[in-house]
A and B are shown apart, each in its own frame.
Chain A
Amino acid sequence: MSDRPAIAASELSATYGRRPVWTGATFDIPTGSFTAILGPNGSGKSTLVRLVLGLLAPARGNLKVLGEDPQRGNPRIGYVPQGSHFDPELSIRGRDFVGLGVDGHRWGVRITGREQAREAIERAIVSVDANEYAGRQLGRLSGGEQQRLLLAQALVGMPQLLLLDEPLSHLDVRNQQAIVQLISDVARERRLTVLLIAHDVNPLLPHIDHVLYVAQGKLAMGKPSEIITSESLSRIYSSPVEVLKDSRGRVFVVGLEEEVSHPHD
Chain B
Amino acid sequence: MTESHMRAIRLVIDNSSPQLSWNPLDDLAAIFHYEFMVHAFQAGTIIAVVAGAIGYFVVLRGSAFAAHALSHIGFAGATGAVVLGFNPIFGLLAFTLGAGVAIGALGTRLRGRDVTIGIVLAWTLGLGVLFISLYRGYATEAYAILFGEILGISTSDVAVTLVAGAITLVAVVAIYRPLLFSSVDEDLAAAKGVPVTVLAVAFMAVLAVAVTEAVQVVGVLLIFALVVTPAAIAVRFTSRPAIAIATGVGLALAFTWLGLAIAFYSPHPVSFFITSLAFATYVAVRIAEPLSTRMRSTTANATA
Contact = CB atoms under 8 A, between A and B. Distances in A.
B194 interface: yes
Nearest to B192: A105
Contacts, number: 91
Nearest to A102: B177
A20 B263 CA distance: 66
B300 interface: no
Contacts of A77: 191
Contacts of A100: 177, 180-181, 184-185, 188-189
Contacts of B283: none
Chain B at the A interface: SS class: helix
Interface string A65-97: 000000011000101111010110111110011
Given A55-B190, A92-B60, A137-B239, A108 B176 contact: yes
B193 A72 contact: yes
A160 B146 CA distance: 56
Sorting the interface of chain A by its residue count into under 10, 10 to 19, 20 to 34 or 35 or more gives 20 to 34
Interface in B178-208: 178, 180-181, 184-185, 187-194
Contacts of A79: 188, 191-192
Interface of A: 53, 55, 72-73, 77, 79-82, 84, 86-87, 89-93, 96-97, 100-101, 103-110, 136-138, 153
25 contacts: A55-B190, A55-B191, A72-B191, A72-B193, A77-B191, A81-B187, A81-B188, A90-B184, A91-B56, A91-B59, A91-B244, A97-B184, A100-B188, A104-B180, A105-B178, A105-B181, A105-B189, A106-B177, A106-B178, A107-B178, A108-B176, A109-B173, A109-B177, A110-B177, A153-B188
Given A91-B59, A92-B239, A138-B184, 11 more contacts: A81-B185, A89-B235, A91-B60, A93-B240, A96-B240, A100-B189, A105-B193, A109-B176, A110-B177, A136-B239, A153-B188
